[in-house]
Amino acid sequence: MPKDGWICRAIAGSDNLQVTSGPACAYNGGHRRLSEHACGIQRVGGMESREDRLTLSIPSHPRYLSVLQGLWDPLLADLGFTSAEARGITLAVHEACANVIEHGYQGDTAQRIDLTVLITPEELVVDIRDYGTKPDLTTMQPRSLQDVRPGGLGTHFMRALMDSVSYDISPETGTVLRMTKRRSKLCTSP
């Protein structure tokens, strides 16, 4: 296992991999590490498709948002994203999860946020699933940067940093936010 406790990074390059659970937990000074909440990673399709799917469930507590960076940085570097692109993707995911905690769960830290990441040669697709209050998409607009006040810029950053952002409110409970970032033609293997 890597020193950072992220078991998915160590096995992501394996062919035809399907891990749905396992001892992906680590303790640091008595605190559970986020990797403990990893559900698994699996290869989708055969060798020719080279698609990977990573699933991760985290508690809806703000303390886990900073830990996401430790998971994203190595993965995005391995996928060939520039450091600026990686920072942007990480910020977009962070903002989306913060919005789920604040608006979807109204600050309830006992809920769950599910992240599913599909990695293809062409793009990175991040689905963020919550089971809370659905947003009113008709009133959800990014605020102008000229309107200077705390908060409210999360959707603006997500749309500016990702290639596409969409919301699926069709599940019976909650919402699925999908964000997509195209990969450079130089980086074709997941």
Per-chain mean pLDDT for the chain: 75
CB 180 within 8 A of CB 92: no
pLDDT digits (tens, 9 = 90+) for 22-56: 333 333 333 344 444 444 444 444 444 578 999 99
pTM of the predicted structure, to 2 decimals = 0.72
Whether the per-residue pLDDT at 156 is higher than 70: the answer is yes
- Between 17 and 111, where is the model more confident? 111
Instruction: Count CA atoms closer than 13 A to 161's CA, side-chain side.
Output: 25
The most confident of 36-50, 69-83, 110-124, by mean pLDDT: 110-124
Q: Catalogue all structural domains in the chain, each as residue range(s) with its CATH number.
A: 7-182 (3.30.565.10)
- Which neighbouring-strand residues pair with 165? 179
Half-sphere exposure at residue 109, Cβ-oriented, CA atoms within 13 angstroms:
5
Helix count and strand count (H, E) for the chain: 4, 9
pLDDT digits (tens, 9 = 90+) for 8-27: 433 344 443 333 333 333 33
- For tokens 């999860």, name the residue: 97
